[in-house]
């Protein structure tokens, strides 16, 4: 029996990935429908990009560029104006190609005469071979027409994004749109000023798309799910448009960014845009809200929900338990245009490209993290701290339902760290049902992943895994409470690689007490892991101390002092700290990322790691064959 007759519209605000829908609305829509609620969803982020990067969008951009004095035009803008007719002719087929709807145009794209080439194409110069031949031949060979064309079309789209940013909206970026307005902003003031400013072309387009979605569905409640800081500004702009035209529609805000950054919310102006703000998993708060709106539940009994009462922000919650993970239902992508997502190829590394190339059904093996000890992680928050698994039969039932709905059998498991036992059970259940899928996801590099288990996971369809090596230093790994050692990571990653599974390592620099010597040693370990074929891809993140992590809660245990936070009325997450080492991590980070970029392309693996640094750094204390020796110790397996 339906909890309410209110129609719910869940929307994804810009910007998120372009290759696949962000899964939050799919989860919520699937859950609400399982409870009899009339729920629909729309991806406004994708719609915005497709509208802007169309002939009509380019004409509007062109008018903005022409309004700028020539001396203020960047190289991207000059190229756009000089080649405008070519851009007009090519944008529709280029987008269709990236959507997989017009593969034959790939041959023309590869000819390098069809797409106008702006400043972004200069990156191809990095790949020119010694004979001066085709700069992409080393990566794609003679047969990779589709991949080669997809990389060129991605550069073309990046050029157009630069035009949009330089002439229309300086905050525009794919994924990180206007994120500085929201990331750990103690007050609402910067966002309020931006929302009060005259609308840009992007704003006007976003408003038009939002109101069109509302007109299509006539919802009584709109759920805006904000996963990242780069989605916040657009989310508020969307809510602003809805409230201006349809003040009676209830608008609620939730999502990953809210769950980490708005836990101390005191800013009443937020509720000029949103009627309610919910924390943590949305299922129970939304059911409670729907019952409240239907007159079946008093406001006092809302669940983890902020609202404004008599001009003041109030927080309401009860002791009701969350919906068990086994009962949240199966995500549904019904209503999302799965054939319109853009399969981008911005990184040629085969593992790294999985994040932006191809559409994946995003699913979770278990709720939360079974380890939940890492000192840099928000282990006290619900999305990590509340671990809740499900039976393998239930998981594979969900997999089969999603395949039936989408017609696609590729899955990205988005767990913080998928449990080895659950993955093994899933592999056995898939084999029992003779169900073929391909999948990848996040794990911990723990010893449970034996060569035998890695082979079994490969047989079940595992094509890649990603996991946190963080700082490749046993001292720092122990301080982080990672529960792994460098030599153990080497053996586990080699086991995956030998099973034909690609491995991506999350890496970190700037952790409390990390010295220059630690950083150089860590890079040497990473070099050896690449050279030995243990990992194929990686990414260096700068450590950020968060107020919810063990480091942020107990800084003295990690040898640091936190800088005082300003009074918080809006968002808070990252907190700056005093590190007694005094290391210039920014400079070291540039060297680490340069080295890693080359390692992912098989370059420089035999060079001394000190060559990547601009400044003088100490010699690595790590033996050059440390990883090889660890791998040869068969007694450790």
Residue 193 buriedness (CB in 10 A; 0-12 / 13-18 / 19+): exposed
pLDDT at 380: 87
pTM score over 0.85: yes
Give Cβ neighbours of residue 602 (< 8 Å, ≥ 6 apart): none
CB atoms closer than 10 angstroms to residue 257: 23
pLDDT at 520: 96
- The residue written with tokens 């789209």 in the block is 157
Task: State how beta strands 410-413 and 438-443 pair.
Answer: parallel
* Statement: residue 576 has pLDDT above 90: yes
Omega before residue 15 within 30° of 0, cis:
yes
Return the structure tokens found at 282: 């949305």
pLDDT at 126: 65
Question: In 3-state terms, what secondary structure has residue 395?
Answer: helix
* Statement: residue 138 has pLDDT above 60: no
**Alpha helices, H only, 348-442:** 382-385, 392-406, 420-433
Handedness of CA 508, 509, 510, 511 (dihedral sign): positive
* Ordered strands of the 305-309 beta sheet: 39-43, 8-12, 221-225, 250-254, 276-278, 305-309, 312-316
- Enumerate the domain spans of the chain: 8-46+179-326, 50-167, 349-545+584-636
Average pLDDT value for residue range 482-504: 95
* Statement: residue 528 has pLDDT above 80: yes
Return the structure tokens found at 432: 């029992």
Which architecture, in CATH terms, is 8-46+179-326? 3-Layer(aba) Sandwich (3.40)
Contact 80, 118 (CB under 8 A): yes
Average pLDDT value for residue range 457-483: 94
* Statement: residue 136 has pLDDT above 90: no
Confidence tier at 130 by pLDDT (50, 70, 90): very low
Residue 321 DSSP symbol:
P
pLDDT at 3: 52
Between CA 101 and CA 405 the distance in angstroms is: 20
Give Cβ neighbours of residue 464 (< 8 Å, ≥ 6 apart): 351, 354, 440, 501, 502, 503, 504
Task: State how beta strands 276-278 and 250-254 pair.
Answer: parallel
pLDDT at 459: 98
For residue 367, list its beta bridge partners: 388
* Statement: residue 34 has pLDDT above 50: yes
Torsion of CA 584, 589, 591, 593, to 10 degrees: 180
**Alpha helices, H only, 481-584:** 486-498, 516-531, 550-553
* Statement: residue 41 has pLDDT above 50: yes
pLDDT at 620: 96
pLDDT at 127: 59
Question: In 3-state terms, what secondary structure has residue 131?
Answer: coil
Return the structure tokens found at 553: 């809660």
Q: With CA atoms as reference, report the closest residue to 47 among 92, 11, 23, 80.
A: 11
Average pLDDT value for residue range 446-459: 97
* Statement: residue 181 has pLDDT above 80: yes
**Ranges 267-271, 348-352, 539-543: which has the least confidence:** 348-352
Model confidence pLDDT, tens digit, residues 361-417? 999 999 999 999 999 999 989 999 999 999 999 999 999 999 999 999 999 999 999
* Statement: residue 129 has pLDDT above 90: no
Q: How confident is the prediction for the chain on average, in pLDDT?
A: 93
pLDDT at 635: 64
Contact 378, 548 (CB under 8 A): yes
Average pLDDT value for residue range 508-527: 95
Average pLDDT value for residue range 78-96: 98
Between CA 536 and CA 440 the distance in angstroms is: 14
Contact 369, 353 (CB under 8 A): no
pLDDT at 351: 85
Confidence tier at 525 by pLDDT (50, 70, 90): very high
The CATH superfamily holding the domain 349-545+584-636 is tm_1862 like domain (3.80.30.20)
Between CA 493 and CA 503 the distance in angstroms is: 7
């Amino acid at each position: 029996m339906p909890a309410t007759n209110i129609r719910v519209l869940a929307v994804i605000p810009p910007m998120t990935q372009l290759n696949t829908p962000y899964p939050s609305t799919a989860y919520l829509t699937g859950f609400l429908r399982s409870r009899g609620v009339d729920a629909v969803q729309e991806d406004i982020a994708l719609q915005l990009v497709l509208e802007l990067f169309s002939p009509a969008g380019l004409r509007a951009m062109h008018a903005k560029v022409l309004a700028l004095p020539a001396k203020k035009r960047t190289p991207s803008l000059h190229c756009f104006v000089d080649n405008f007719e070519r851009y007009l002719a090519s944008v529709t087929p280029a987008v269709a190609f990236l959507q997989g709807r017009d593969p034959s145009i790939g041959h023309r794209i590869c000819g390098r005469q069809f797409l106008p080439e702006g400043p972004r194409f200069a990156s191809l110069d990095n790949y020119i071979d010694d004979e001066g031949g085709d700069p992409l031949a080393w990566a794609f060979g003679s047969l990779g027409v589709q991949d080669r064309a997809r990389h060129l079309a991605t550069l073309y789209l990046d050029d157009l994004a630069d035009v949009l940013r330089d002439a229309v909206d300086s905050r525009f970026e794919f994924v990180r749109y206007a994120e500085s307005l929201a990331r750990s902003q103690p007050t609402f003031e910067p966002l309020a000023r931006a929302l009060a400013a005259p609308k840009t072309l992007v704003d006007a387009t976003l408003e038009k798309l939002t109101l069109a979605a509302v007109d299509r569905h006539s919802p009584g409640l709109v759920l805006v799910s904000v996963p990242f800081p780069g989605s916040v500004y657009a989310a508020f702009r969307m809510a602003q448009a809805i409230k201006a035209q349809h003040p009676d529609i209830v608008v609620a805000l939730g999502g990953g960014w809210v769950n980490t950054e708005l836990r101390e919310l005191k800013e009443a102006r937020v509720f000029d845009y949103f009627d309610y703000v919910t924390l943590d998993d949305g299922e129970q708060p939304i059911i409670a809200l729907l019952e409240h709106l239907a007159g079946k539940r008093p406001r006092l009994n809302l669940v983890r929900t902020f609202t404004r009462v008599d001009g003041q922000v109030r927080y309401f919650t009860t002791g009701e338990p969350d919906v068990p993970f086994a009962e949240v239902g199966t995500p549904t992508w019904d209503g999302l245009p799965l054939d319109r997502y853009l399969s981008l190829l911005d990184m040629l590394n085969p593992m790294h490209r999985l994040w932006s190339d191809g559409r994946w059904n995003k699913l979770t093996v278990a709720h939360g993290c079974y380890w939940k000890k890492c000192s840099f992680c928000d282990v006290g928050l619900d999305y990590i701290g509340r671990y809740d698994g499900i039976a393998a039969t239930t998981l594979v039932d969900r997999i089969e339902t999603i395949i039936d709905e989408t017609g696609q059998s590729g899955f990205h498991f988005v767990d913080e760290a998928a449990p080895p036992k659950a993955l093994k059970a899933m592999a056995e259940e898939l084999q029992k049902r003779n169900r073929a899928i391909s999948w990848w996801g996040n794990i911990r590099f723990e010893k449970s992943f034996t060569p035998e288990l890695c082979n079994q996971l490969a047989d079940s369809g595992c094509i890649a895994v990603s996991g946190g090596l963080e700082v490749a230093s046993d001292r720092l790994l122990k301080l982080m409470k990672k529960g792994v050692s460098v030599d153990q990571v080497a053996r586990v990653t080699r086991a995956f690689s030998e099973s034909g599974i690609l491995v991506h390592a999350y890496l970190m620099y700037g952790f409390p007490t990390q010295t220059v010597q630690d950083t150089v040693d860590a890079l040497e370990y990473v070099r050896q892991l690449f050279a030995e074929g243990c990992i194929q891809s990686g990414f260096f993140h700068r450590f950020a101390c968060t107020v919810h992590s063990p480091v942020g809660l107990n800084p003295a245990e990690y040898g640091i002092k936190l800088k005082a936070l300003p009074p918080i009325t809006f968002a808070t997450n990252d907190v700056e700290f005093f590190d007694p080492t005094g290391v210039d991590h920014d400079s070291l980070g540039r060297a680490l990322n340069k080295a890693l970029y080359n390692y992912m392309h098989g370059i420089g693996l035999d060079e001394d790691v000190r060559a990547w640094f601009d400044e003088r750094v100490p010699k690595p204390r790590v033996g050059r064959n440390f990883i090889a020796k660890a791998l040869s110790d068969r007694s450790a397996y």
